[in-house]
A and B are shown apart, each in its own frame.
Chain A
Amino acid sequence: QKEVEQNSGPLSVPEGAIASLNCTYSDRVSQSFFWYRQYSGKSPELIMSIYSNGDKEDGRFTAQLNKASQYVSLLIRDSQPSDSATYLCAVSLTGGYNKLIFGAGTRLAVHP
């Protein structure tokens, strides 16, 4: 059984809309949660980290964590074609980047 689950997509949204990306994880003791963006043929880049329940906002991005439901999401407001990429959810059982478990990623396509 996969430990971090993501819908593979593609998730298609129109330009200017809100893109909602979801991730569930299986281990209740998970402590750190990360969202990465990966453009085709490129390296992943960290866009958000979240450690406690609730919302964390950074520009157009909002990460939401619900530990009781073992669920973490990423909202992208005012989606742009440049946001088209694969978004990777990652979870650490021990904190920081140790023992980092990634989901397979959700492909987002923002169309003009």
Chain B
Amino acid sequence: EAQVTQNPRYLITVTGKKLTVTCSQNMNHEYMSWYRQDPGLGLRQIYYSMNVEVTDKGDVPEGYKVSRKEKRNFPLILESPSPNQTSLYFCASSSTSGDETQYFGPGTRLLVL
């Protein structure tokens, strides 16, 4: 089954404690991206990656890091989380050719105390 998986699905942490949210896709997609969703603000793109070792900033990259060492994985790293990073996070992937559909993961709900 084609899917994008994210872990963990729910996370409560404290300010300053480094965390990583993993994202993995099994569709051999070149393109992956991270979004955060906040009430009234919609989805905002954090980072995206066109392929292995190729990443670029989205709309709200401050406070986040990403890496793309393997095609299937695109982890989101919060080096020093702060309460304003409390949000719902989505990972997404798509092919850059052929099927243009963008597939979203199930989301990770993060609470930073």
Contact = CB atoms under 8 A, between A and B. Distances in A.
A97 B33 contact: yes
Contact of A99 (B35, B59, B90, B96): B59
Interface size class of chain B, counting residues whose CB lies under 8 Å from the partner chain: 20 to 34
Given A88-B43, A97-B94, A100-B33, A43 B59 contact: no
Given A44-B90, A97-B94, A102 B43 contact: yes
B31 A43 contact: no
A44 B104 contact: yes
B48 interface: yes
Interface residues of A, number: 19
A2 B47 CA distance: 19
Most interface-central of A98, A99, A100 (chain B CB within 10 A): A100
Interface of B: 31, 33, 35, 40-45, 48, 50, 56, 58-59, 90, 92, 94, 96, 100-102, 104-107
Interface of A: 4, 34, 43-46, 49, 88, 90, 96-105
